[in-house]
């Protein structure tokens, strides 16, 4: 580059100006981009040969829009038109910037021509010819620049037309979207109204069917009761007679069992009197499932039971091998279903003396309990109302009612919708009657859910407690699990 300065007359005489051919060929048909660098030097900016022209970009975007128009929805098409509009605006801005750059190039060419004109008047000979050739080259560049400006103006017009087209298309797409949205909303409202009418009609029909069905059921029940009453008046039922007879036989059997037990106790007392054997303690209570046995002192001079140690045993027959009942160390013991048909024995250790008390015979089953359990077995899940007395050996503060579920595969304890404990039948689960306590021992059971979690549950009645134990053991046996109390599995398996 040649630096142009004010004092250049002598310099041009000393430095030779290189000749420039008139038929010079340029690498590009476009006028190069020039920038004014440091020290007022003109620097040619490097161009990216891969940059597409504005016309090519517009053509490519239009082709993509036309190609994708068929598979785009109305909303996507509107978005695409908006994007195209933004691209057209961006291209318009670029054209504006190029127009400004073209104006700067004209200014630079004019300055360069003026400098060469002033230089031509100061030089002579060969240098003057070179300056004239340079002036001709600058004029040729100006012509090319003018042609390029024409092309830019034409492209600007095309971009403007495309922008207007995209604006119109975007507005049409928005209108179409609004129309489709309004139509869809109207269809949705019509569908909702139709569904609501159908629901109201169904509800009305269901109410009418319920009322009609309830009325028909009441009329049918009234007719059945009337028919039964008329039949009973004219022909008494043999089944009812048999049921009454069985109930009377059960009552007589229970009374005779109690009378037999009293006679056996009186006989034992009279035998001890004949043998001059002092009666220190005796067993009191009905020896049947559903009641409880209690050790009572024989006289006022006998030491209190709190000074003695007690252990209960069970045996298959009187005088047979006694099996220790783990945890039964209180003066009260309530037989559980596992004790039915077995003889119970209580050993009392008073100082160095052992006192043995034995039931007069095996523990009798509860009347009607077997039929009750067989009726419950038909259900999939049986519920019992219980109260938690203890949890992990500690008194439970709340006395609210819980529900114990005894199912085919598992047991669950809940309060309302909250599950307190739930576990499938397993070898770590234990279930038996409470081995100790007071008068309510016959209504309570011990349930170890798993290791580290156990409960003492109080049922509404002795029948409910024994039925729950029998059902759980039956369902567990179906799952190949022997469900029993602490240390009872060995004897139960044998």
Beta-strand runs (E) in 217-336:
281-284, 293-297, 309-315, 323-324, 332-333
pLDDT at 422 > cutoff 90: yes
Per-residue confidence (pLDDT) for residue 480, from 0 to 100: 93
Q: Which two tokens stand for residue 362?
A: 């095996």
Per-residue confidence (pLDDT) for residue 10, from 0 to 100: 44
β-partners of residue 453 are: 450
- Residue 373 CA to residue 289 CA, distance in Å, equals 14
Contacts of 180 (CB under 8 A, 6+ apart): 74
Side-chain half-sphere CA neighbours of 467 within 13 A: 24
Which range among 113-127, 277-291, 365-379, 435-449 shows the weakest confidence by mean pLDDT?
113-127
Contacts of 409 (CB under 8 A, 6+ apart): 424, 425, 475, 479
Which residue reads 């499932």 in tokens? 289
Per-residue confidence (pLDDT) for residue 81, from 0 to 100: 63
Cα 448 versus chain centre, distance? 29
Per-residue confidence (pLDDT) for residue 276, from 0 to 100: 57
Per-residue confidence (pLDDT) for residue 6, from 0 to 100: 43
Q: In the structure, what pLDDT confidence band is assigned to residue 40 with cuts at 50, 70 and 90?
A: low
Per-residue confidence (pLDDT) for residue 44, from 0 to 100: 57
pLDDT, tens digit, for every residue of 306-365?
888 889 999 887 667 888 998 888 889 999 998 998 999 999 988 888 888 888 888 888
- Residue 336 CA to residue 444 CA, distance in Å, equals 10
Which range among 33-47, 120-134, 256-270 shows the weakest confidence by mean pLDDT?
33-47
pLDDT at 14 > cutoff 50: no
Higher pLDDT pick, 255 / 218 = 218
pTM: 0.48
Higher pLDDT pick, 151 / 250 = 151
Per-residue confidence (pLDDT) for residue 45, from 0 to 100: 53
pLDDT, tens digit, for every residue of 47-95?
544 556 666 766 776 777 666 655 555 566 566 666 766 766 676 667 6
Q: In the structure, what pLDDT confidence band is assigned to residue 406 with cuts at 50, 70 and 90?
A: very high
């Amino acid at each position: 580059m040649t630096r142009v300065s004010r004092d250049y007359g002598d310099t041009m005489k000393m430095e030779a100006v290189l000749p420039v051919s008139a038929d010079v060929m340029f690498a590009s048909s476009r006028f190069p981009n020039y920038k004014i660098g440091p020290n007022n030097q003109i620097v040619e900016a490097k161009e990216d040969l891969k940059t597409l022209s504005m016309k090519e970009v517009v053509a490519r975007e239009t082709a993509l829009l036309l190609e994708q128009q068929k598979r785009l929805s109305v909303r996507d098409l509107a978005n695409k038109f908006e994007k195209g509009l933004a691209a057209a605006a961006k291209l318009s801005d670029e054209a504006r910037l190029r127009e400004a750059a073209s104006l700067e190039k004209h200014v630079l060419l004019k300055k360069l021509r003026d400098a060469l004109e002033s230089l031509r008047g100061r030089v002579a000979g060969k240098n003057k010819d070179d300056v004239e050739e340079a002036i001709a080259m600058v004029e040729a560049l100006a012509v090319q620049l003018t042609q390029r400006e024409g092309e830019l103006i034409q492209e600007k017009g095309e971009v403007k037309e495309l922008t207007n087209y995209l604006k119109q298309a975007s507005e049409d797409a928005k209108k179409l979207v609004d129309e489709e949205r309004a139509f869809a909303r109207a269809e949705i409202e019509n569908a909702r109204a139709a569904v609501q009418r159908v629901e109201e009609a169904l509800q009305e029909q269901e109410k009418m069917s319920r009322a009609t069905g309830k009325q028909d059921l009441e009329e049918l029940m009234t007719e059945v009761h009337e028919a039964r009453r008329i039949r009973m008046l004219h022909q008494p039922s043999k089944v009812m007679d048999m049921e009454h007879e069985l109930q009377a036989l059960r009552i007589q059997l229970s009374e005779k069992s109690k009378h037999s037990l009293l006679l056996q106790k009186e006989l034992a007392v009279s035998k001890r009197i004949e043998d001059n054997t002092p009666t220190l303690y005796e067993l009191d209570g009905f020896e049947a499932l559903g009641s409880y046995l209690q050790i009572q002192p024989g006289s006022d001079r006998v030491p209190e039971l709190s000074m003695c140690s007690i252990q209960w045993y069970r045996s298959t027959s009187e005088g047979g091998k006694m099996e220790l009942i783990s945890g039964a160390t209180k003066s009260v013991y309530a037989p559980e279903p596992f004790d039915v048909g077995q003889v119970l024995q209580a050993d009392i250790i008073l100082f160095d003396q052992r006192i043995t008390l034995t039931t007069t015979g095996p523990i009798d089953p509860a009347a009607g309990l077997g039929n009750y359990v067989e009726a419950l077995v038909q259900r999939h899940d049986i519920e019992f109302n219980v109260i938690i007395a203890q949890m992990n050996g500690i008194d439970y503060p709340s006395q609210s009612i819980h529900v114990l579920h005894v199912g085919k595969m598992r047991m669950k304890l809940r309060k309302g919708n909250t599950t307190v404990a739930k576990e499938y039948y397993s070898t770590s689960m234990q279930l038996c009657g409470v081995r100790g306590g007071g008068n309510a021992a016959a209504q309570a059971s011990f349930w170890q859910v798993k290791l580290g979690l156990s409960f003492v549950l109080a049922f509404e009645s002795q029948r409910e407690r024994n039925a729950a134990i029998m059902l759980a053991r039956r369902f567990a046996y179906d799952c190949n699990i022997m469900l029993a109390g602490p240390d009872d599995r060995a004897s139960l398996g044998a």
